[in-house]
Structures are given as C-alpha cells and as structure tokens.
Amino acid sequence: MERGRAYTRLNTLLQHLGGSSAGAVTAHPTSGAAKFQPQQFQVQFERICREEVKPLGLMLMRDVSIGKSEYVPCEKMVSKVQNFQEDKELFRYCTLPEILKYVECFTGPNIMAMHTMLINKPPDTGKKTSRHPLHQDLHYFPFRPSNNIVCAWTAMEHIDRKNGCLVVFPGTHKGTLKPHDYPQWDGGVNLMFHGIQDYDKNNTRVYVTMEKGDTVFFHPLLIHGSGRNKTEGFRKAISCHFAASDCKYIDVKGTSQEKIEKEIVDLTHKFYGLETGSLKNVWTWKGRLVKGERISL
C-alpha cells in the first residue's frame, strides 16, 4: 500500500519535473491543459473586501500598521482573508484537479482542506510590518503525521524579492517542530505571525521567484517566511493546507503549541462567538473534505 503510493507519487512528480532544470531556484509551474486563472479569485476577493458578499466564517485581517479607526472596506485595507471554506468561489481553489493531483501524492486519496488563505501583502509602510517571520506551519496544527500534510501556495501574479516572495530553508522539513513566539520587531508584528526564535542564521536561503499561476507545494515543517513588499502593489497569493483525512488529532497541552492554542481559541471566541476550548475543535470546525472519505479529522 505504502509502496504503491510512493510509486505513484514519484511518477507524478517525475513527469512534472521532466524537461525542467531540477536545480532551478524558480518554482516549477503547475501547468496543464486546464491551467487556471487566479484572476477569478481576485474578483471575488475584491467583492469580499468591499463587503458585497459576507461568506460565513471568513476572517479579514489588516496589517498592524493600519489603525482600527482608519479601516474602510476596500481591497487596500485587507492584508489577508482566512477561512474561506464557505465561499464557493474562493474554495474552488481547494478542489482544482491541477492542485489535488499533486496534493494526493502527499496525502493519499482521502483529502481534507484544513486551512485556507488569500494573502494580499500590502506595500510596506517603512515599518517592515509586511514581512512574515520565519516559521513552520505545523506550529498551528494539532494533527499528525506531518508527512501527510502539505501546503499549496499559488502566486496570483509575478512574485519575486521586490514584492516579498517566499523564502525557504531547504531541507528543514526533515527536522523537528521548533518553539515559536512573536518576534521582537520595532515596527510591530501582525496578529498570529509567530516566528522561530533560534533558527540557524547560516542556513541556505532560497528566494522563490514565481510567475502568475505557479504553485509550490511544501511540507509543514519547512522553515519559511516572506520578505518586505517594497513595491507599490499588493502582492497576492492564494493557499490551502491539505491533510490526509486519517491524520489524528493530538493534545498540544504541555507542548510548544500550547500558547498558540490559547491565542487561536480566544480569537475564535472573540471573532465568531464560538466556545471551542481546544485547537482540535477549531480545526474540526474549519476542515472540509475535498476528495474521498472523511475519516478522523
């Protein structure tokens, strides 16, 4: 069973890489007969920001440099929308065959979409708040094994170092989950932007240049972040974390994830009025089956 899956996975990936230079620092495009157009998601994002539609469960985030009283409903005020599992148009991203084809290589046939985001990284105001600190996504997840979780992150436009591309530490997915906390940044830090405090500064960094529609798939232990947006535009990407539906929940009490559990549980209460009590209940509420059978998540 495991060998069968490994064979299929290798085959899919080798077919995909065939013809590209494996050592390139640019992303390998997820092109195919039905390459999708991220503009469709942009139109819906703009409608959400203008409050023309209010999908259930959606969370709009603003950059810490924008005061609460300055907020007006428009695209320039929203740095991220999270939890779009009830928005039919945005959630279509999580069901695209050109995405799931690769996701299945990591999760197997029963697939849950656990965490959805559309990131609209604003031009940096000079306070460097548009940076995303180096982190591992597993810090936010109370389910395992980590090898059956994968993030798909699609560029909605050309992305490079100028507008704050992803930066990754290759090979770190083979390590363990490190303690995270808010970084001590002078200009302020965005809500829930926890970072690793003691990463190896000598680690090789790869800056992931991507074209519109390119997708990277990465492991939840991979150390990554993104730099400042030094342009005038809002850098857009859409992403989803997928997991095998037979992943198991763990209790994060007494672990390095205890603090983020409290923060997320409190935020879920403040924002949605939901008494979840644990990270497990938050993710059970957010997760949606996209393929196969829902087993334990």
Q: Which is nearer to ligand AKG, 110 or 286 (CB)?
A: 286
Cβ nearer to ligand AKG, comparing 110 with 219: 219
With contacts defined by CB under 6 A, name the span among 9-17, 47-55, 114-122, 208-216 that binds ligand AKG.
114-122
- First-to-last C-alpha distance (Å) of the chain: 21
- Asked if residues 30 and 152 have their Cβ atoms less than 8 Å apart, the reply is no
Residue with tokens 């857009």: 236
Q: What Å distances lie between residue 287 and 110, 204, 245, CA to CA?
A: 13, 34, 10
Q: Are 202 and 18 in contact (CB under 8 A)?
A: no
Residue 121 touching ligand AKG (CB under 6 A):
yes
Q: Rounded to 5 degrees, what angle do the CA atoms 67, 194, 175 make?
A: 160
Nearer to ligand AKG, 112 or 223 (CB): 223
Q: By C-alpha distance, which of 159, 70, 66 is closest to 119?
A: 159
286 binds ligand AKG per the rule CB under 6 A: no
Q: Is 115 in the site for ligand AKG (CB under 6 A)?
A: no
**Closer residue to ligand AKG (CB): 108 or 282:** 282
CB-nearer residue toward ligand AKG: 28 or 236: 236
Which of 180, 224, 228, 286 touches ligand AKG (CB under 6 A)? 224
The answer to whether 119 contacts ligand AKG (rule: CB under 6 A) is yes
Q: Whose CA is closest to 118, among 65, 150, 78, 70?
A: 78
> Residues 83, 226, 257, 276: which binds ligand AKG (CB under 6 A)?
226
Q: Does 237 bind ligand AKG (CB under 6 A)?
A: yes
CB of 1 to ligand AKG, least distance (A): 31
For the CB of residue 156, give the shortest distance to ligand AKG in the complex, in Å.
Answer: 11
Q: Is 241 in the site for ligand AKG (CB under 6 A)?
A: no
The answer to the question of residue 132 lying near ligand AKG (CB under 6 A) is: yes
244, 110 Cβ separation under 8 angstroms? yes
- For ligand AKG, give the closer residue by CB, 87 or 137: 137
When computed from its CA atoms, the radius of gyration of the chain, rounded to whole angstroms, is: 18
Our CB check for ligand AKG shows the closer of 199 and 292 to be 199
Name the residue nearer to ligand AKG (CB basis): 110 or 115: 115
Q: Which long-range contacts (CB under 8 A, 24 or more apart) does 42-47 make?
A: 42/156, 42/236, 44/87, 44/89, 44/90, 45/75, 45/81, 45/90, 45/118, 45/120, 45/236, 46/75
Residue 98 has what DSSP assignment?
Answer: H
DSSP letter at 69 equals: G
User: Judged by CB under 6 A, which of 137, 177, 221, 279 binds ligand AKG?
Assistant: 137
Q: Which stretch binds ligand AKG (CB under 6 A): 50-58, 68-76, 95-103, 117-125?
A: 117-125
Is 154 a residue that touches ligand AKG (CB under 6 A)? Answer: no
- Which residues have CB under 8 Å from 195's CB, separation 6+? 133, 134, 135, 180, 181, 182, 183, 225
**Interacting residue ranges for ligand AKG, rule: CB under 6 A:** 117, 119, 121, 132, 137, 224, 226, 237
